[in-house]
Amino acid sequence: MTIETTQKLMEQLSLEFVLVDSSDPDSLVELLPVLKKIKKTYNSLSFNDKNFLKAIKKAIQIIKDIKDKKVSNIEKTYNSMSNLISEMESIMHSLINTDPDTDAQLKSDTKNNKTIEIENAKKCLDEFAKLVSQFCPGEIPDLGAMLNICDELSLKTKFIDSDILHEVVSGCKNYLETMTLENLEDTKPIEEGILLVRAFLNHAKTDEVFMFDTSDVMELLNKNCSTITNLVKEEQEDNPGETTDENIQVEKEPETPQKISDDDLEILSDFISEAGENLDSIEVSLIELENDPTDNEIINNIFRPFHTIKGVSGFLGLKKINTLAHATENLLDSARSGDFLINEHATDLILESVDTLKKLLQKVEEGMELGIRQDDREIDIDILEDKLKKLQISLSHPNKQPLGEILVEKGIATQETIDEALASQINNPDKKLGEILIRDKNIAPKEIASALRSQSPKKKKIATQVKVNTEKLDNLVDYAGELVIAQSMLRQSASKDPALQQSVAQFGQIVTSMQNLAMSMRMIPIKATFMKMIRLVRDLSQKSGKKVDLNMSGEETEIDRNVVDALYEPMVHMIRNSVDHGIESKQARIKNEKPETGNIALRAYHKGGNIMIEIEDDGKGLDKFSILEKAIDTNLIPKDAELTDEEIYNLIMEPGFSTAKEITDISGRGVGMDVVKGGIEKFRGQLSIDSFPGKGTKFTISLPLTLAIIDGMLVRVGKEKVIIPTTAIKRSFKPEKENCSTIKGKGEIIQERGSLIPLVRLKTLYGFDDDSRPPWESLVVVVESKNEQRGLIIDELLGKDEYVIKSLGANLENIDGFAGGAILSDGRVGLILDIHGLFELISQ
């Protein structure tokens, strides 16, 4: 690294700081990549100044505080950043003029004057390319800045003896002037010209003759732009399916892969991570915007991430990402300026832009693993960019619903009253309709205010959240769990010392509070997952040609972060089935006197120690006769099997089972519901199905609130101690002899409260001990799973407590009927029963 490189980066920093919006703290974040590069290059020099390093560290910390939402006074922050940059420039200037080592290094760097001139020309060309990539259609100042930098480029390339090079630079300038005069927006000829100049400069270093054909670029630059526009328009009208000259892409020779420098790797890594988070936030905000297209705050929440991605990608030379983000940003900028409202078509295009940007980011990430810039030519952004530009031009700002119409709809005023007020407004144009109605005492101020709120409803803001490394968070929960175990052991040891018991009780309260706090930090609202379902329904609705609405409730319900991850895939499969199989076609719904638009309800709520998720549609429901017929045909069940409705519906969760008569792009391959079942049961959850022919189907997912701690009843079975989840326990009792019996083929049963309950001997099932005692000499714990009850024969109830779930390890994880283990107060390991898995094991 040279002092000249550091100087250039300082100039870049100063330039970008000038362009920062002093009222928007997020715009300062775009300076972070430059600051990091300056720090790296400066550290590599043979000399340095502690005050310079101190200043740059302060500047980086300021931006990190902005990202973490720790800045309250933006004006003060902006001034601090300005002072730090001035201080760094002053130190740099002082070093260059006073340090002999610096002077020697500069002399060494300037030995080859031609190399320096080429680098200066490249720097000017980079500035030109940056201005072109950030060009906003219709902005005269942008065109003026590009013309100025083009003049500067012409001066800096005069040392190269090449008529063709000067012709290209002159062609760029002429094209810019034409853009100004004729209000053109297409910057592609300029971009091609910049690429050609860059190639010239690279060849100038080696003194090789430039042999490439430049006629295609010169043709683009020299065409009369007005003629091009008219010819393209006529061509498209006459031959809408043909490709115009403007859209022809010149095939280029494969470029030599460009190596990513070590300096750029860290910055690229940060950029990919932050850009991914930004794009996810955009999807959520777009759903919010669909509910209220007039909310400027939501539009700003979408605009800012695109603006950040555009700025940083431009600095990193990620041209396609920069271009696409810029085109989308322009569309949003017009919307937030009030030129139009974001409609369904605009939302679709923005979502398409998000998807394409994710693909481009994935390419960059793949390249980072190989250490080279990946070729992304197969990802075409030209068509999407053109769509965004055309939509921005075509959309017009629709008016809000007139206040008079709202008042009439609500029955607050008659049409006659509104007409009279409007007639009065003609003579008093400075008076608003609401003021006239209040003045004439036709309507109360309170009712006018209510109507105005309806005209521009305010949406609730999304609360800001602090980002915490998930690994640290999981470690905190693990340590809290270990504290619970230690406290339980200590309480056992202190049982005979009253004084120590009091201290242990106080310690227990602190541990419980800490544990609850740690667990609450892992709890996040399920809203983000629900929001993704809105987009899924939207896409499936368009693909299937059905009108489907998704109604949500309980999206603020909090759930363990890991459980949220477990829910996503099952929910996707079930919603796909609801749209494809459940909701009928438009004609079928009309025939059955149903609303044309189908409805899917998504609900979340807490019940006991579980999180309940319901997915209910108002479609045709499950056909149990078709399910039975298919199950018999595939030998899944015998012909004479007697099944309840619930057992019939559960057959759809068998691997490979599908009643679909044809395979669609959405579903029908029989690989959905078994995946759903497996995914839910993996996290100790259950899935139940209720269906009503002609009315719809409801899927109910039940999952534990947290995967880390469980409320359980400790019981003794022979010499072993086992934990039964309290959510599964219905009751416990000592049975009477006359209520116990044995039925051939069914095993032991007990009659209790008018029901016959099968008994399970855990000792025999798992080989704990010899179990020959009759049931009436033991205790029975009745447990339930999916409306099925069984009685577990145990020897002793030891008490209820909270237990930290530990994995059984790879060797024992596949044992049916156990969800994990827990360390007990005596230091031994107790096995935690998985009631659902236990029932399945018994049924085999």
CATH number at residue 796: 2.40.50.180
Residue 680 lies in a domain: yes
CA 695 – CA 568 distance, rounded (Å):
26
Residue 247 lies in a domain: no
pLDDT tens per residue, range 71-91: 777 777 877 887 788 788 777
pLDDT tens per residue, range 86-132: 788 777 777 666 554 544 554 444 445 667 777 888 888 888 888 88
pLDDT tens per residue, range 557-585: 888 777 777 778 888 888 888 888 888 88
**Max Cα-Cα span within the chain:** 112
CA 449 – CA 455 distance, rounded (Å):
10
Whole-number percent of the chain with pLDDT over 90: 2
CA 670 – CA 655 distance, rounded (Å):
7
CA 782 – CA 704 distance, rounded (Å):
20
**Domain total of the chain:** 7
* pLDDT at residue 814 in the model: 64
* pLDDT at residue 615 in the model: 92
Shared domain check, 378 and 417: no
Q: What angle do CA 389, 394, 396 make, to 5 degrees?
A: 125
pLDDT tens per residue, range 20-68: 666 677 777 778 888 888 887 777 665 567 778 888 888 888 888 887 7
pLDDT tens per residue, range 490-508: 877 777 777 787 788 888 7
Token reading at 691:
């269906």
Interval 818-840 mean pLDDT: 81
What number of other Cβ atoms are within 10 A of residue 280's Cβ? 16
Quick check: 742 and 751 in contact, CB under 8 A?
no
**Over the chain, what is the mean pLDDT?**
76
* pLDDT at residue 617 in the model: 92
pLDDT tens per residue, range 152-187: 888 888 777 677 778 888 888 888 877 766 667 778
Residue 564 lies in a domain: yes
Provide the pLDDT confidence category of residue 240 given band limits of 50, 70 and 90. Answer: very low
pLDDT tens per residue, range 215-233: 667 777 776 443 333 433 3
- Coil, strand or helix at 701: strand
Interval 471-488 mean pLDDT: 77
Does the global pTM surpass 0.75?
Answer: no
Q: What is the DSSP string of 266-282?
A: HHHHHHHHHHHHHHHHH
* pLDDT at residue 376 in the model: 76
Shared domain check, 557 and 418: no
Higher pLDDT, 258 or 835: 835
- Which residue range is the domain that position 60 belongs to? 1-111
CA 120 – CA 139 distance, rounded (Å):
28
Residue 103 lies in a domain: yes
pLDDT tens per residue, range 646-677: 888 888 887 767 666 555 544 543 446 777 77
Shared domain check, 640 and 544: yes
* pLDDT at residue 232 in the model: 36
Instruction: Identify the CATH number of the domain in which residue 283 sits.
Output: 1.20.120.160
* pLDDT at residue 822 in the model: 83
Token reading at 288:
């919010």
Shared domain check, 365 and 269: yes
Residue 248 lies in a domain: no
Shared domain check, 556 and 479: no
Residue 462 lies in a domain: no
Provide the pLDDT confidence category of residue 463 given band limits of 50, 70 and 90. Answer: very low
Most confident of 3-12, 270-279, 307-316, 452-461: 270-279
Which residue reads 């369904």 in tokens? Answer: 344
pLDDT tens per residue, range 702-748: 887 666 677 889 998 888 889 998 888 888 888 888 888 888 767 88
What number of other Cβ atoms are within 10 A of residue 782's Cβ? 20
Predicted confidence (pLDDT) at residue 793 exceeds the cutoff of 60: yes
Quick check: 515 and 467 in contact, CB under 8 A?
no
